[in-house]
Every structure is written in C-alpha cells, then in structure tokens.
Amino acid sequence: MYKKQKVSHNNNKKIILGALAVAIVATLVWAIFFRNSTSQTTPTPDKLQTVNLEPATPDDQEYSNSFKDGSAQDENNPPQDPNPNPDNGGTPNPPAKAPATPVVVDAGQYGGNIEARAYVPGVFEEGGACRFVFTSGATVVEKQTAAAADATNTRCENLRFSAAELPQGSWSMTVTYSSETHEGASQPVSLEVSQ
C-alpha cells in the first residue's frame, strides 16, 4: 500500500510537470507570434497622430463655421474685409461679436442683501464680464462681475451687495454679457426691495 501511494504521487508529479511544460511552450509561441504581428502594424511614435481635446479656439470656431455657410477660403488666400474702415487709415473693421443671451437664474432680496445669479448658455469662454443693471423709474444702479467658463457654459460670478444701495420699491434687472467675441442682454426680471 505504501508503494502504491508513492507511485501515484510520482505519476501526479509527471502530469503536473508535463502540463507546466506545455503551458510554457504555448506561452512562448503566442508571445513570439503576437510580437511579430504587432510590430508590423503598430506605428512608431514619430508616425502617431495626436488628438487635441481642448475646446475650440475662436479662430477654430470661425474656420469651422465658414464651411457651414459656404464662405470657406483657401488657407493660402485668406479672406479680405470688403469694408475697410476709412476713419482709421483703411484698417479693416473689427469682426462683429456673436450674440449671447444671458439667463437670470435668481434675483432678489435676501435679508439685508440683494443677490443675483446668471449664466450665458452656448458660450464657453474666459475673460468676459457681466453687468447687472437695476432700474426703477429714472434711477439706474449698475454692478459688474467677472465671467468664467464652467463645465458647459459661461457663468457670471454671483452678485451680492447691500439692499440699502437700492431705494425701497419695484425694480427691473437686466444682465448684459460682453467679451472679445460675444455680447448680449438678458430678458428683464422683476424684484421687490423692502428695507
């Protein structure tokens, strides 16, 4: 009985070693085949193309839009401004700004403060400014905040100031947005100021 166990133990060792040898040979064959097949199809780093995932610059957007309206020009022959400005020595007029319509999210009195929030949908840029214009009769009060790109739009920094700066009563507020490339105004919203 002791010898049978030893023989079966030796047979198990032979089976395990044989399976291990087959696995090693199969791995080597696969590695050689895989290396040879990929080395022929994988481009070298100097042949790889990169993709720029940054948001489009205003120039990129203008170039892309020129194909949409059929006014695309050859890169070697850029378009000329057909209406040079004679008031400044024939220098072409600056391009018109694209429209932007701010949306007022909230405007009201909270305790002793006036607060307002707005954003500019469809515009994703840094460097713009938001002007909050409060009007009641002939009285006009203006406040300005910076604007910055958030995840999908341009957001006006939240406005907060003392309610004492606005006389008590009904007010209308409009937000205007302006940058190097966009400008526009929101629809007016109403708010009540109580001291």
Number of domains within the chain:
2
Residues 110, 33 within the same domain = no
Structural domain includes residue 61: no
Asked whether residue 39 carries a pLDDT value surpassing 80, the answer given is no
We report the CATH number of the domain holding residue 175 as: 2.60.40.10
Residues 114, 188 within the same domain = yes
Domain that holds residue 10: 1-39
Q: Encode pLDDT of 158-177 as tens digits.
A: 999 999 999 999 999 999 99
From residue 54, how far is each of 57, 60, 87 by CA, in Å? 9, 11, 38
pLDDT of residue 63: 73
Structural domain includes residue 12: yes
Measured between alpha carbons, how far is 145 from 133 in angstroms, rounded to an integer?
A: 12
Residues 106, 25 within the same domain = no
Structural domain includes residue 56: no
Q: What is the pTM of this model?
A: 0.54
Structural domain includes residue 10: yes
The token pair that represents 39 in the structure block: 């080395």
Structural domain includes residue 17: yes
Structural domain includes residue 34: yes
Confidence bin at 76 (pLDDT 50/70/90): low
Structural domain includes residue 134: yes
Residues 180, 103 within the same domain = yes
CA 29, 33, 39, 42 torsion: positive or negative?
A: negative
Structural domain includes residue 57: no
